């Protein structure tokens, strides 16, 4: 038997043992959707998450949603009413953000390799471009001049440090992201001199960290760096986007981020900030932490078989929807995401089984030798933490399978 990650707090079963999501029975949700596999996102959990963040953070810090974690249109529209802005990372995401009703001045667009037509769409819409290089800055300025509009431009800074303990390092050393810190002052002066509406800095050092101390230390270094840059430029950044970094506990032994501790430390950091940042606004941009726990992936058992003593539950889902849960999206050692039998939720484990998907590859494993209550053909398996980097971060077209259904409840 191998352990699985902790099931997020807040999930329970009805008297018959059926998992409830947003108060609805998992089996009933699958009926309404018409088929499995199905992603269900719980809007009350999304709202609770935003409220938890706001209660913990200094009031002057804004919350942006990094929509690449989950761009499902109904979820985006729901989140848009709760957060202060969206961060997008492609022209497609920009279109989705605008279609959701988010005001363009609350949309920022980061990401390397923006094509001219993407820069143009953002400038035309009035969104902020987080510039990733001097070359991109030059292209943005000439497109704005051609259009005859004043572009809203921020500079993404590649900091000299990274976020310790983060699953994905986005700063420190040579990176395709952002402008090296020592080259930032000259670039910002160039933007200001060209008449652009300079929006400030975007400094993103890493993601999927659970240690509040490491996050707080990175935020302190980020604010200090923004202060040094502001002094070197001789102008105050209107906005300092501090990045994100808060992760969620996927695996056995992982412990949730102490959000209150992050918020308290950020309050101290901002209280002591450089005078050059006195009038600056601050923002954090979060994807995973806001949406991961609110999502459940439901997949049905199609076959039950044994091979060389190992029992397999073969489902209609798989890595084509849940690449990260299968261990094939940036993980070195495969470990089990939280998993359960939705129609026997909370029942004691009775057997050790491997839950696999329907793809013809040994990589397609959703649960490796996990202890579960006995499940039969037709039962529903629930994979938790499916709200972020699931549906759109997995190869849905592989083997002709197609996309999963999605639903916001
Ligand atoms: C991916 C990304 C995020 C979101 O990261 P999470 O780990 O989902 O919170 C935020 N900002 C930028 C620039 C990103 O590329």
Q: Give domain 12-41+293-408's CATH number out of 3.30.70.1880, 1.10.10.10, 2.40.37.10, 3.40.190.10.
A: 2.40.37.10
C-beta of 285 in contact with ligand 1 (< 6 A):
yes
- In contact, 39 and 297? CB cutoff 8 Å: yes
Cα of 355 vs centre of ligand 1, distance in Å, is 30
**pLDDT the model gives residue 171:** 63
In the prediction, which pLDDT does 160 show?
A: 87
- Rounded to whole angstroms, the Cα distance separating 144 from 351 reads 63
Q: DSSP label at 347? A: P
133 touches ligand 1 (CB under 6 Å): no
What is the three-class DSSP state of 191?
A: helix
CB 64 within 8 A of CB 241: yes
pLDDT mean over 371-396: 97
Of the ranges 2-11, 41-50, 170-179, 394-403, which one carries the lowest mean pLDDT score?
170-179
Q: Is 357 in the pocket of ligand 1 (CB under 6 A)?
A: no
Sequence-separated (6 or more) residues with CB below 8 Å from residue 5: 249, 250, 251, 252, 254, 335, 336, 337, 338, 384, 385
CA distances (Å), origin 284, targets 14, 54, 62, 196: 37, 11, 6, 24
Identify the pLDDT of residue 220: 97
Between these two residues, 166 and 242, which has the higher pLDDT value? Answer: 242
Structural domain boundaries in the chain: 12-41+293-408, 71-286
pLDDT tens profile 97-107: 999 999 999 99
Indicate if ligand 1 lies below 6 Å from the C-beta of 69: yes
Q: What percent of the chain has pLDDT over 90?
A: 93
Q: Whose CA is nearest to atom 5 of ligand 1?
A: 287
**pLDDT the model gives residue 54:** 98
State whether the beta carbon of 322 lies less than 6 angstroms from ligand 1.
no
Atom of ligand 1 nearest to the CA of 292: 8
Query: Does the beta carbon of 87 lie inside 6 Å of ligand 1?
Result: yes
The pLDDT, as a whole number, for residue 170 is: 63
Give dist(CA 342, CA 355) in Å, integer.
13
- Using CA positions, which residue lies closest to atom 3 of ligand 1? 66
Task: Please give the distance, rounded to the nearest whole angstrom, from the Cα atom of residue 116 to the centre of ligand 1.
Answer: 23
Q: Tokens standing for 348?
A: 């004691």
- 42 CA to centre of ligand 1 in angstroms: 21
Q: What confidence tens digit (pLDDT) does each residue in 36-71 have?
A: 999 999 999 999 999 999 999 999 999 999 999 999
> Ligand 1 mean position to 207 CA, how many Å?
6
> What is the DSSP pairing of strand 107-109 with strand 38-41?
unpaired
The predicted pLDDT at position 167 comes to 66
Q: Give phi and psi for 189, each to the nearest 5.
A: -60, -40
pLDDT of 376 > 70? The answer is yes
CB contact at 8 A, 178 and 171: yes
Task: Report pLDDT for 329.
Answer: 87
pTM: 0.96
* Among the four given CATH numbers 3.40.30.10, 3.30.460.80, 3.20.20.10, 3.40.50.720, the one describing domain 71-286: 3.20.20.10
Predicted local distance difference test score (pLDDT) of residue 241:
98
């Amino acid at each position: 038997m191998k352990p699985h990650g902790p099931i997020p707090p807040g999930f329970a079963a009805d008297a018959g043992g059926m998992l409830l999501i947003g108060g609805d029975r998992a089996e009933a949700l699958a009926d309404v959707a018409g088929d499995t596999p199905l992603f269900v996102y719980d809007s009350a959990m999304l709202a609770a998450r935003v409220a938890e963040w706001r209660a913990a953070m200094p009031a002057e810090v804004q919350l942006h949603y990094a929509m690449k974690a989950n761009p499902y249109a109904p979820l985006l529209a729901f989140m848009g009413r709760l957060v202060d802005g969206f961060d997008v990372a492609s022209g497609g995401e920009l279109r989705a953000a605008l279609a959701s009703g988010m005001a363009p001045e609350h949309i920022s667009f980061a990401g390397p390799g923006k094509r001219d037509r993407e820069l143009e769409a953002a400038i035309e819409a009035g969104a902020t471009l987080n510039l990733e290089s001097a070359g991109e800055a030059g292209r943005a300025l000439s497109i704005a001049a051609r259009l005859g509009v004043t572009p809203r431009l921020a500079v993404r800074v590649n900091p000299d440090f990274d976020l310790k303990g983060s699953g994905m390092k986005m700063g420190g050393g040579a990176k395709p992201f952002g402008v090296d810190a020592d080259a930032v002052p000259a670039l910002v002066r160039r933007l200001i001199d060209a008449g652009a509406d300079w929006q400030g800095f975007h400094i993103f050092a890493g993601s999927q960290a659970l240690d509040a101390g490491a996050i707080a230390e990175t935020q302190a270094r980020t604010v200090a760096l923004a202060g040094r840059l502001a002094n070197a430029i001789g102008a105050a950044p209107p906005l300092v986007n501090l990045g994100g970094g808060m992760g969620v506990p996927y695996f056995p032994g992982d412990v949730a981020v102490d959000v209150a501790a992050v918020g308290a430390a950020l309050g101290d950091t901002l209280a002591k900030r450089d005078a050059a940042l006195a009038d600056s606004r601050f923002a954090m941009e979060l994807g995973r932490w806001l949406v991961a726990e609110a999502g459940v992936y439901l997949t049905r058992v199609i076959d039950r078989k044994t091979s060389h003593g190992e029992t397999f539950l073969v489902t209609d889902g798989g890595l084509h929807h849940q690449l990260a849960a299968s261990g094939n999206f940036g993980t070195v050692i495969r470990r089990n995401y939280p998993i359960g039998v939705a129609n026997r939720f909370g029942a004691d484990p009775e057997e050790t089984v491997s839950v696999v998907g329907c793809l013809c590859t040994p990589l397609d494993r959703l649960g490796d030798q996990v202890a579960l209550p006995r499940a039969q053909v037709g039962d529903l398996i629930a994979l938790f933490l499916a709200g972020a980097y699931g549906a759109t971060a997995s190869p849905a077209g592989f083997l002709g399978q197609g996309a999963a259904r999605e639903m916001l409840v």
